[in-house]
Structure 1
Amino acid sequence: MRLPAPESPLKAVLWDMDGTIVDTEPYWIAAEHALVEAHGGTWSHEQAMQLVGQSLTFSAGLLQQAGVELEIREIIDTLTAEVISSVRQRVPWRPGARELLEELHQAGVRCALVTMSEGPLARQVVDSLPRPYFEVLVTGDTVARGKPHPEAYLTAVELLQEQDPDLGIHHCVALEDSVPGVAAAVASGVATVAVPHIVPLPDDGSYALWESLAGRSLSELEALLEPAAAAGYPRG
């Protein structure tokens, strides 16, 4: 495997999953609708959008407010089982994600998954990839505070440091698609790329804003860590 060029500051890419690698948000929304309606309630598009990128505990609390008479853990398990079932039938890959993962793999750039989905769903998605791209998985059931808190991203960096103590926040780039996810990544200090999918993201200059991962490359991620990037992230 070819290693990164010595002058490259990029050592690791931290990936969100839902909405960034896979387009599972429609699966989650369908599961939410079914659960709320099974308990005699209604679930609007606006309510569903409030949950995009949030922790499952937060999401389950809003579903309780919508009339779901189950405990938080029961709601999480029910939703997760439905989404896993859908993913097993068809993995809805986001454009460009697998190609970029492969390029990073060939270049020796390490990857971590940082998702608020729990371990069983994350492993289902990771196992569907052609290679073991991710050496670190940080999932919603392994952190005390979900996104938008930066704990998940800081945990991913700490785990990567176990194999490379010299790796720091300034060697990493995060890829995200949601408001809570972007907030978590930026708060951790990691250079962040926002790739909006279902929910629009403001262009406030604290992160790079890309329309898609399709056609994106390692060199563009490396450029985000160059000193010139501190003056303003590239757009496009």
Structure 2
Amino acid sequence: MPTWVYRFLRWCPGILGLLLRQRLYPCLLGHCGRGVLIGRHVDLINPGGISLGDKVIVNDGARLDAGSHSGPDTAIDVADGAFIGADTLLAAGPGRLIVGEGSNIGSRCTIVAAGDVVLGHHSLLAGYCMIGDIPEAPAATAGHDPQIPTGPTDKPTIIIGPGCWLGLRSQVTAGVRIGQGVIVGAHALVTEPLPEFAIAVGRPATIKRMRP
């Protein structure tokens, strides 16, 4: 696709823009399902390494960065029915980033996959959440320009289980595994694994009680 066409599609407002992007962006993406809606000013970096399932919504100003990934598997894999909020950054490289079915990622979140990041199905991230090792995190979220690692990495995998809720401005560091149904309070910093159905708050996050 010529650069000027991509720039026009990225800018084009209203229903016309949504329809044009819905028809033409599958030519750029590694995979694009049915009923995908992509808003204005969305940046797709190395789009051949990005897979979007059916009925995925990517809101205005989001950035999906597949880095320098190449190979049979896509670097960013967003499953059916997922929602990516406005001005949110999803960055893969060298790890993969997998967003589960029906997950909802709020506005201005930052997820950087230095190692693999797996977000379980029907998880909910409130606004300004940060997942992964993100240098100068506040500036990275506001400016959409964290220092994304490149090349081989030994960073451990981050796994956030199905049905988890992460509160406003919460942060999950590399290597953390969060079990199914966990609730993380606003502004919490998760540096250690959390078991299924725990409720955790604080910096660092500690378990206050367990859900029934």
TM-score tier (shorter): under 0.3
Please identify the structure whose Cα radius of gyration is greater.
1
Normalized per residue, which structure has more helix?
1
RCO higher in structure (CA 8 A, sep ≥6): 1
Please, what TM-score do these two structures have when normalized by structure 1? Answer: 0.23
TM value normalised by structure 2: 0.24
